[in-house]
Amino acid sequence: MKTAIVGGGAAGFFLGINLKEMRPDMEVSILESGSRVLRKVLASGGGRCNCTNTFRDVKDLRNVYPRGHQLMKRLMRTFGPREAYEWFELHGIPLRLQQDGRVFPASNDAATIVSRFLKLARELGIQVVNGSPVSSLSQLSSYDFVAVTTGGSPRAEGLRWLQEVGHEVVAPVPSLFTLSIDDEALCALTGTAVEQVSVLIPGTKFHAEGALLITHWGLSGPVILRLSSYAARHLNEQDYRSHLCINWANATEADAHRELVLLTGSHAKKQVTNVQPCALPSRLWQYLAQKALGERAALRWCDLGRKDMNRLTNIVTADVLQVTGRSAFKEEFVTCGGIALSSIDQNTLCSKAVSRLYFAGEVLDIDGITGGYNFQAAWTTAHTAARSIATCQ
Ligand SMILES: Cc1cc2nc3c(=O)[nH]c(=O)nc-3n(C[C@H](O)[C@H](O)[C@H](O)COP(=O)(O)OP(=O)(O)OC[C@H]3O[C@@H](n4cnc5c(N)ncnc54)[C@H](O)[C@@H]3O)c2cc1C
C-alpha cells in the first residue's frame, strides 16, 4: 500500500511519521513543491517554534480557534496538547513550558524540531521528494491513499484542483496581522507598550483584550493580532478600512471618570499632561489629553470643567482610531479559510467527495490565534488523518 502526502510542512511530516509508526508496511512519500521542506517550522516563533500550548487558560476553544473550534474539540479528545507534548518528548524533542502556557523546544531552537523530523522520516524510510508540486489528482493515481497537507493558501487558485474534484473552498483571507493607523501623532509614540487594553470594532461583535504595542505604522501586540484573527474576514470585506475603538485603561467609564476626578483634587495645581491617570504611559497620556482637550491640555487639573472631564473619560475608555490597512506580522501569519469542514468526514478527515483522500493542517478551514495553537491544529489533524489511513482496509 502506498500513501502520497502532498506538502512537506509541519502537518505533512507529522502525518508521515505517525502513519509509518502505526503501519510500517505502508510506503509513504512526501511530495513538496518547494526546494526545502519544513520551512515554516524553521521560521516559526521567531526561530524558536512555539509548538503547542497547555490550553490551561482556555475556557472556550472558540477564543483560540475562531475557525474550526468544534472540530478541534472533537479531535483533541484523542490527540490534544498533552498527547502532542508526550509525543515530542518521546521522539527525542525535549520541550520547555513557559509560564504563559506556551511550549517551545527546550533548545529554544526550531531547528531541533526540523532536524529531528528529518531524521525520523529517514529512519522510517519515508521518501521525501522536493520540487514536486501537485496540481491534479491524476498525478497521484499510483497511490492508494493521498493526504493533502499543503498549508495555508492566501490565493484561492492554490486550492482550485481540490475544488474541481468536489470540495467546497472557503475563500482564503489572511489572519494575524497588525493594523496601520492614520494618525501621525500616535505613530510618533512608536515603542510605547500598554499592558492591558481592550479593543473593539464598532458595530460588530469583534473585541479583544491584552497587551498593545504602538509601532511606527500603527498598532501591534497580542491584542491586535487576536482581534485581527477574530475579525479576519470582516476586515478583509472592509478592505482593511475600519474604525477601531480602544479602551486604553481597560476600565469602565465610571471607574475612569472617578480616577480622573480624584486627580483634580490630589494634583489640582499640576498641569493635566504631567499627571497620567490609570497608570497610562506618560507619552501616551500627553497624546490623549492633547487629542481630547487641544490647547486646554496645558491647563491645571483644578481648571478643568465638566465637559473637559467627560472628554478625557471618553478618550481614555473609547478612543476611536481610523484603520487604513493591514501589515503582515513578522512573526506569524496564517490563512483563514481553506477546505470547508463540511467537505470532510469529521471523524476521519477523509474527503466526502473523493475516497481515500485526507486533509490535515492549515489547508483546512481551521486557524488559531498566536500562542502555539496553529501548530497544535497541525499535530491534531495530522495524527487523526494518519490513524484513519492506518486503520483503513
Ligand atoms: C513566520 C511564521 C511563524 C509562525 N510561528 C508559529 C508558531 O510559533 N506557533 C504556531 O502554532 N504557529 C506558527 N505559525 C503558523 C504555522 O507555521 C502553520 O500553521 C503551520 O506551519 C501549518 O502547517 P501545515 O503543514 O499545514 O502547512 P505548512 O507548514 O505551510 O506546509 C505546507 C507545505 O506544503 C507545500 N505545498 C503547498 N502547496 C503544494 C502543492 N500543491 N504541492 C506540493 N507541496 C505543496 C508548501 O511548500 C509547504 O512546504 C507561523 C507561521 C509563520 C508564517
Please indicate whether residue 31, judged by its CB atom, sits closer than 6 Å to ligand 1. yes
Cβ-Cβ contacts under 8 Å for 386 (sequence gap 6 or more): 14, 15, 16, 18, 19, 22, 147
Q: Taking 90 as the threshold, does the pLDDT of residue 226 lie above it?
A: yes
pLDDT of the residue at 278: 92
Q: CA–CA separation, 279 vs 285, rounded Å?
A: 9
Instruction: Name the nearest CA neighbour of 335 among 158, 202, 210, 153.
Output: 153
Lowest mean pLDDT among 187-201, 252-266, 317-331: 317-331
Residue 154 binned pLDDT confidence (cut-offs 50, 70, 90)? confident
Read off the pLDDT of each residue in 354-375 and give the average, rounded to a whole number.
Answer: 98
pLDDT of the residue at 393: 77
Pocket probe for ligand 1: among 117, 332, 380, the residue whose CB has the most ligand atoms within 8 Å is 332
Q: Half-sphere exposure of 173 toward its Cβ, with a 13 Å CA cutoff?
A: 18
Q: Are residues 226 and 202 in the same domain?
A: yes
Total of domains in the chain: 2
CATH number at residue 55: 3.50.50.60
Please indicate whether residue 40, judged by its CB atom, sits closer than 6 Å to ligand 1. yes
Q: Are residues 135 and 6 in the same domain?
A: yes
pLDDT of the residue at 362: 97
Residue that finishes a domain, picked among 281, 304, 328: 328
By alpha-carbon position, which residue is closest to atom 8 of ligand 1? Answer: 45
Q: CA–CA separation, 374 vs 381, rounded Å?
A: 11
Q: Are residues 11 and 147 in the same domain?
A: yes
Q: CA–CA separation, 331 vs 47, rounded Å?
A: 9
Q: CA–CA separation, 4 vs 357, rounded Å?
A: 10
Atom of ligand 1 nearest to the CA of 377: 19
Please indicate whether residue 33, judged by its CB atom, sits closer than 6 Å to ligand 1. yes
Residue that finishes a domain, picked among 328, 361, 377: 328
Read off the pLDDT of each residue in 230-255 and give the average, rounded to a whole number.
Answer: 97
* pTM listed for this prediction: 0.95
Q: Taking 80 as the threshold, does the pLDDT of residue 170 lie above it?
A: yes
Across 328-344, b (16+ Cβ under 10 Å) vs e yields ebeebbbbbbbbebebb
Q: Are residues 315 and 346 in the same domain?
A: no
Residue 332 binned pLDDT confidence (cut-offs 50, 70, 90)? low
Q: Are residues 131 and 40 in the same domain?
A: yes
Residue 382 lies in domain: 2-174+332-391
Read off the pLDDT of each residue in 90-102 and give the average, rounded to a whole number.
Answer: 97
Q: Taking 60 as the threshold, does the pLDDT of residue 292 lie above it?
A: yes
Residue 328: strand pairing partners: 177
DSSP per residue over 171-185, as a string? EEEEESEEEEES-HH
The alpha-helical segments, DSSP class H, found in the chain are: 10-22, 39-47, 69-76, 81-90, 110-124, 160-163, 184-187, 222-230, 232-237, 253-266, 282-293, 306-317, 373-391
Q: Are residues 20 and 166 in the same domain?
A: yes
Q: Are residues 245 and 296 in the same domain?
A: yes
What's the gap in Å between 291 CA and the centre of ligand 1? 43
Pocket probe for ligand 1: among 150, 153, 177, 365, the residue whose CB has the most ligand atoms within 8 Å is 150
- Amino acid type, 314: N
Q: Are residues 92 and 208 in the same domain?
A: no
Cell of 23: 503501519
Cell 479583544, located at residue: 208
Atom of ligand 1 nearest to the CA of 363: 26
Q: Are residues 231 and 113 in the same domain?
A: no
Read off the pLDDT of each residue in 140-155 and give the average, rounded to a whole number.
Answer: 94
| Structural contact between residues 379 and 95, judged by C-beta atoms closer than 8 angstroms | no
| Structural contact between residues 244 and 268, judged by C-beta atoms closer than 8 angstroms | no
| Structural contact between residues 374 and 368, judged by C-beta atoms closer than 8 angstroms | yes
Q: pLDDT tens for residues 213-224?
A: 999 999 999 999
Read off the pLDDT of each residue in 318-325 and give the average, rounded to a whole number.
Answer: 97
Read off the pLDDT of each residue in 253-258 and give the average, rounded to a whole number.
Answer: 97
Please indicate whether residue 42, judged by its CB atom, sits closer than 6 Å to ligand 1. no
Which H or E element spans position 248? none
By alpha-carbon position, which residue is closest to atom 24 of ligand 1? Answer: 151
Residue that finishes a domain, picked among 328, 350, 376: 328
| Strand pairing class (319-328; 207-214) | unpaired
What's the gap in Å between 113 CA and the centre of ligand 1? 14
pLDDT of the residue at 223: 97
By alpha-carbon position, which residue is closest to atom 39 of ligand 1? Answer: 150
Average pLDDT of the residues of the chain: 96
Q: CA–CA separation, 127 vs 172, rounded Å?
A: 30
pLDDT of the residue at 153: 79
| Structural contact between residues 311 and 227, judged by C-beta atoms closer than 8 angstroms | no
**Percentage, residues of the chain above pLDDT 70:** 99
Instruction: Name the nearest CA neighbour of 366 among 180, 223, 232.
Output: 232
Q: Are residues 165 and 183 in the same domain?
A: no
Q: CA–CA separation, 325 vs 289, rounded Å?
A: 26
What is each CA distance from 140 to 135, 143, 166, 167, in whole angstroms?
10, 6, 17, 17
pLDDT of the residue at 329: 59
Residue 259 binned pLDDT confidence (cut-offs 50, 70, 90)? very high
Q: How many residues does the chain have?
A: 393
Residue 327 binned pLDDT confidence (cut-offs 50, 70, 90)? confident
Q: Is the dihedral of CA 57, 62, 68, 70 positive or negative?
A: positive
Q: Are residues 240 and 362 in the same domain?
A: no
- Amino acid type, 74: R
| Strand pairing class (127-129; 242-247) | unpaired
Q: Are residues 68 and 155 in the same domain?
A: yes
Please indicate whether residue 229, judged by its CB atom, sits closer than 6 Å to ligand 1. no
pLDDT of the residue at 328: 64
